[in-house]
Structure formats: C-alpha cells, structure tokens
Structure 1
C-alpha cells in the first residue's frame, strides 16, 4: 500500500466514515450486468440526474479509469439497517456524497490531480428533490451542487459487495440469528479513484 495516502484514510474517518481503506484499483470488479440493473428493472431515478445512467460513463469507461488510477480509497458508513428503509436514507446519502467529495478534493490537493469520487444514490433525490429537473440535463446548465454530488457507482457496474470484501470487510454485519430489526446494521459505501 502507498503510505502517502494514509492521511486520506484519517480524513475520511475524522469526517464520519466507519471505515476507510486504500485498495489497489485492479481489485475493483466491474460487471456490465450490474450497470444494466439501473435499466431493468428500471431504477426510479434512472435518467433524472447527470450522475446516474444514461448520463454517466459505462462499465467500459470505468475499466479504463482503473488502468489510469492505481489506487482507490473505499469508504464505508455503518448504519442502522432501518435507516435505509426510511427517509433517513437520504440524510445518510448526503453525508456519504459530502464525505466522498471532501476526500476527493483533499486527494487533488495532495497531488492526485485526476482523482474522482463515486457514491451511492441519485444526486437528484439527495440534493435537488425540490426542483422539477436536473439543471445539467434539462437546461444544459451548471450543476446546483458540484461540490457535493458525485456519480453513482452502480451506473458504472461497480460490484460494491466485492469492493467491500476486497477491503477485508464483511458485507453481512448481522451474525446473530433473530436479531431484532432495530438492532440490525447495514452499510453504504463510497469510492475515490486516486490518480
């Protein structure tokens, strides 16, 4: 691992990440069929923002990105599972996007000028739900939240479960059978490609 990147791990954790890990980018698994899941069954956010398909790059684009960005910072937020089933998931999504964007900016300041962040969830739903449409799509205008909104990993076909496993983390955080719903945990993840 590149020890020069340790400050990015520390920054992510100080900003609220449950875990952060530097990973060789060639460990990132990209699958075309995962990106197609945005289309069929159609995601309710498909086409609504510039950070979701069909407005993002393809799995092929991300595979090229892997070749030019040797390292990636993976960020995990561990949260109560019930949050993902309520409106609170939007708050968690906003935190994740902000965290990824902040780490991306710091990586750029550290000399990784081509760094780019990816998160989960639609930026339209997270940041512009009060607007009828995404300004970048409908008006070819500037993004309303360029310092926060990041593209969705799923649109690129990134296998997020495999990404978590590649960090040595568990995808199932609930090992006890019969654990009450209010005690169950889940997670969301973000990614900063470092180059």
Structure 2
C-alpha cells in the first residue's frame, strides 16, 4: 500500500489534519462499533468491508465525476495507486510523523496481516512450532509475529530456496522447498521435518 500526507480535509473531519501522515486501509474503522473496539477483531460492523468501486458511506454511489461527466470509481475504498486520492476518514490511520513513509507503508497491509495472523488468529504461544506456507511479504510478517511471540520453531515452506535467507532474519528456523519434494507432497515433507525436529 502506501503512506501519504493529508493535503486537505472535508467538513466535519476531526480525526486527521492537513500535514498528517496517514496510511490508507481498505478495511473500515468507525472506531465505535463492537468490531472496532474489540481486541480480537478489526472488522467494522457499521461500515462492513465490501469489494466495491464506491465509497463506503455512499451506498453504491460515488460523488466523483470526470470533467466530461463520467463516473470515477474507487478501488478497494482507497485508490492508492494514484498521486492523489480522496479517502473516507474511516479508511485512514494516522501515523507517527517520526516514522519514515517508506517504512510506514508496510504497516497498512502486509505486516498487519501477517503479524495479526500470528497474534490474533493463530495466537502463537511461546515454545510452539509454526509452519508458514509461502515466504512472501505476508509470510515473512507471520514469521516475525511468531518470533515476537516466542515460537521455538518456525518452518518456512516455499518454492524459492533464496527466500530462506531472508526468512532467517525474521525468525524462520527451518525451510522446506516444496519444489524439491519429488513425488512426496509438501504435507508429507512437513510431517517428516516436524517429527525430526520436535
């Protein structure tokens, strides 16, 4: 995703101000509903996530048109692949200005998804064994989340052995290359690896 600087705010917006660094997020946060205030979820029930080309508060509509009157749609409520975008305040998170935008941008999707999976979904416990299928940015973030939670063994499974070196920096202790398993499935290789190291 990205980290942006607020250029202007609409009427009634008090959560952010011009000059604030923000991360656009495609999952809404009204800050008031049970989902938003829960420690176990980040799914807003007031503005539920929908894959839609519209702004969340405009119920299948948009207030934007091109100069010739054609409708301008949104992508995932943030349209972050553009120089400028208009985003509902429910889809931005204010960022500490001391964090560089090149680092803060990682928080909006990949890191929060991966670390969140380790902490909130899997609830990784100290001393446990974790297996991660795929060591892309989200898989690496899962490894970091598992490492921070004290996992004793973090097994990375990927088709690219070069990813193991990167994985080691984030806590991956063992690696299985799914492309080198011959006629054995990755699950069989994992079973053998798991029984040998536990």
Tell me the TM-score range normalised by the shorter chain.
Answer: under 0.3
Name the one with the larger helix percent: 1
* TM score, norm. by length of structure 1: 0.20
TM-score, scaled relative to structure 2: 0.20
Q: Greater CA radius of gyration, 1 or 2?
A: 2
Structure number with the bigger relative contact order (C-alpha 8 A, sep ≥ 6) is: 1
